[in-house]
Chains A and B, each alone.
Chain A
């Protein structure tokens, strides 16, 4: 075997074309952004701990919420899943590496620059982007701060990175699978990423188009979104959400894939309904293009349009429900054990379903008139994103960390991390449902006195959740350094090609196409 041993120099990381190195870079980048975005969230929760302005001016508060959203979505969740894809897809399909290794390097290294540009706006003269991550016109165009242009270009860079990452993933999955693995035998994680990659290629250019039109409106005299010039501010929302809704599924489908690997392993039973899982994922992806205006029910779209978007949105609950039912059926009559990844997976099933339920409620247009732009929505999307996407990345990390490092993590610490996270998450986000139903709008730095109790509870939960994540960092670093040696098949009954390679796997994964195990 011709295995080059990587050196430790900085140039290894700068010039690497190795899927594992790039995966590691993505994952560390994602974790750093998670801490950054999390610190911003803690600033937000500190300000909202009690009524009145304590720490920040309202203008800065808006910059915090904007940055928190952008950093978590584009910095933490998306790169986290791309990191998992880089590490795991070649291992799971029996490939030596990713199909386009140099592009892989570039798509990662764009990200630190994109975020440097975005963060630089905080220290600039004049406010950082302060219009929310959704950047609705004309607040972001005619009324946008000067730093909006930096926001636009950083979004362009992030989009480039995502599109190249997606192209690479599609090329790898379609071309480098071991010959004995037809599409319908691929692990579900690979399937969900294949579909996610197509979503990325379809919608990232739409976002790029939207922000380019913003740029044109700001500097080149166009009036795409300016009613006074014959344009339409609502059109921005249509274009943005045509990107934004599939984006939601970009952040959750890979997590579905992770769960479909973990639950069968710790249930010691094959995944229930493999075929229906694949078709459900494809249906979710297709439907995600047809529901964007459910984010805009109060903008005054015609009633017939609202009824259509309500029906289409409710339809998405059907394939999503199928997936939940399949996971539960996989666990049913299995022989369950509850290692940390399985704990995260089970919390995912329950808490993501909570988010699904509030999503269903939000789909009912008349009720949405009351929920829209309140903390009920904040509760809803944090329930799908934190126990959905973030728990997905954490579960995957615990599940594959012994494979990556060759060491088992400390199961006791992992379980402590899980329980701290799962409990504090509910203290943090559950009261937000009540706040929204009681009438508290989102994106406000100060609030009426009747909202004080639940805001205090949510803030306490937030600080608990935030500090718990430092334990995660400690566990991961400790596992990289030392720990009980992990064999090739880390988990008893784990199925898949990644478990046929040593832990840690050789620098170049499969040098000859392996046979898929039955």
Chain B
């Protein structure tokens, strides 16, 4: 957990749960993730968060100053001012300016996120089904079906829950690291949403439509997410596991899959 200490202190303080052990495996904040995009999002998130904290601190200080010093029980007499044009103009223009300044980095990042057309080395078509994911490596003739692996006994509390409870699948999506991967999402039935927080990718999978997203994953690892759009009874039980491998390992895996899948078809 790499959270700035003041951030954690403020949030925990607000909750009054500062006694929780620091080692517990909970997460308080968005994590920076493993792609340029997800880091950009994290940075934007922290910037707008601190802007909100500052505005809140100013507004609430004035309010609590009034609550403490301007109370009737202290014997104060109420003032009678109730209008001021320049104050109104100021507190319209200042927030407006702050917001428009915030829009610039947001729009810049957004445009980058939508740059799906150029330089991608691999396109994966993701199809949402009730309730599993299908991955097709376009042009490679490789297709995977990815379902929840967690046994029912764990869900029904008859067995001890594993460390990746509800976030484990039988067949993970295998991708190479450091390459631009293009994700094309669609659906076979209702709307789903393919979300892996560490990649900074969340795209709705909509029947009859194809949406695009991309990611360049910095380093090998296993990244977990799940369906983010209500898609029926088992919406909470269609996780996503992406496994990023070094290029060579990925190629070996792909060749094995190709041979295996061509044989069976």
A and B held together in a complex: yes
Contact of B66 with A328 in the complex, beta carbons under 8 Å: yes
Residues of B within 8 A of A504 (CB): none
Contact of A361 with B110 in the complex, beta carbons under 8 Å: no
A260 to chain B, nearest CB (A): 12
A365 to chain B, nearest CB (A): 5
Chain B, range 61-119, C-beta contacts under 8 Å to A: 62-63, 65-67, 70-73, 76-84, 87-88, 91-92, 95-96, 99-100, 102-103, 106-107, 109-111, 113-114
Interface hit among B139-147, B172-180, B187-195: B187-195
Residues of A within 8 A of B65 (CB): 332
A429 to chain B, nearest CB (A): 11
Which of A275, A311, A336 touches B71 (beta carbons < 8 Å)?
A336
Residues of B within 8 A of A457 (CB): 15, 17
Residues of B within 8 A of A370 (CB): 30, 38, 41, 45, 197, 200, 202
Contact of A441 with B228 in the complex, beta carbons under 8 Å: yes
Contact of B67 with A346 in the complex, beta carbons under 8 Å: yes
Contact of A273 with B157 in the complex, beta carbons under 8 Å: no
Residues of A within 8 A of B52 (CB): 357, 360-361
Question: A138-B189, A269-B80 are contacts. A329–B67 as well, Cβ < 8 Å?
Answer: no
Contact of A366 with B233 in the complex, beta carbons under 8 Å: no
Which of A269, A366, A441 touches B41 (beta carbons < 8 Å)?
A366
Asked if A121 is at the interface (CB within 8 A of a chain B CB), the reply is no
Contact of A143 with B190 in the complex, beta carbons under 8 Å: yes
Which of B20, B201, B233 touches A58 (beta carbons < 8 Å)?
B233
Residues of A within 8 A of B248 (CB): none
Residues of A within 8 A of B110 (CB): 303, 306-307, 310, 365-366
Contact of A333 with B78 in the complex, beta carbons under 8 Å: yes
Asked if A325 is at the interface (CB within 8 A of a chain B CB), the reply is yes
Q: Mark B231-246, 1 if CB is under 8 A from A, else 0.
A: 1111111000000000
Cα distance A337–B83 in the bound complex, in angstroms: 22
Cα distance A333–B107 in the bound complex, in angstroms: 41
Interface hit among A29-37, A211-219, A227-235: A227-235
Question: A276-B88, A331-B63 are contacts. A438–B228 as well, Cβ < 8 Å?
Answer: no
Contact of B44 with A350 in the complex, beta carbons under 8 Å: no
Contact of A369 with B96 in the complex, beta carbons under 8 Å: no
Chain B interface residue count, Cβ-Cβ cutoff 8 angstroms: 102
Contact of B26 with A367 in the complex, beta carbons under 8 Å: no
Contact of A227 with B207 in the complex, beta carbons under 8 Å: yes
Contact of B230 with A136 in the complex, beta carbons under 8 Å: yes
Cα distance A356–B230 in the bound complex, in angstroms: 25
Cα distance A361–B53 in the bound complex, in angstroms: 12
Cα distance A310–B103 in the bound complex, in angstroms: 8
Residues of B within 8 A of A105 (CB): none
The DSSP consensus for interface residues of chain A is: helix
Chain A interface extent, by class? 35 or more
Residues of B within 8 A of A448 (CB): 164-167, 224
Asked if B11 is at the interface (CB within 8 A of a chain A CB), the reply is yes
B205 to chain A, nearest CB (A): 10
Cα distance A322–B235 in the bound complex, in angstroms: 41
B132 to chain A, nearest CB (A): 15
B34 to chain A, nearest CB (A): 14
Which of A130, A336, A437 touches B72 (beta carbons < 8 Å)?
A336
Contact of A270 with B59 in the complex, beta carbons under 8 Å: no
B contact set with A: CB distance below 8 Å: 11, 14-15, 17, 20, 24-31, 37-38, 40-41, 44-45, 48-49, 52, 55-56, 59-60, 62-63, 65-67, 70-73, 76-84, 87-88, 91-92, 95-96, 99-100, 102-103, 106-107, 109-111, 113-114, 154-157, 161, 163-167, 189-191, 193, 195, 197, 200-204, 206-209, 211-212, 224-237
Interface pairs A-B: 8 shortest CB-CB: A227-B208, A444-B236, A438-B27, A300-B211, A357-B52, A333-B79, A59-B233, A270-B82
Known A-B contacts: A272-B82, A272-B83, A306-B110. Give 12 more (CB < 8 A): A136-B230, A138-B190, A268-B78, A269-B80, A298-B228, A299-B206, A317-B99, A330-B82, A334-B78, A437-B29, A438-B27, A449-B165
29 A/B residue pairs, CB under 8 Å, sorted by A = A52-B156, A58-B233, A136-B230, A233-B206, A269-B79, A272-B83, A273-B82, A298-B193, A298-B203, A299-B211, A300-B206, A311-B100, A315-B96, A328-B63, A329-B87, A334-B79, A337-B73, A353-B56, A357-B52, A364-B48, A370-B45, A372-B228, A426-B14, A437-B27, A439-B27, A439-B197, A444-B235, A446-B155, A450-B26
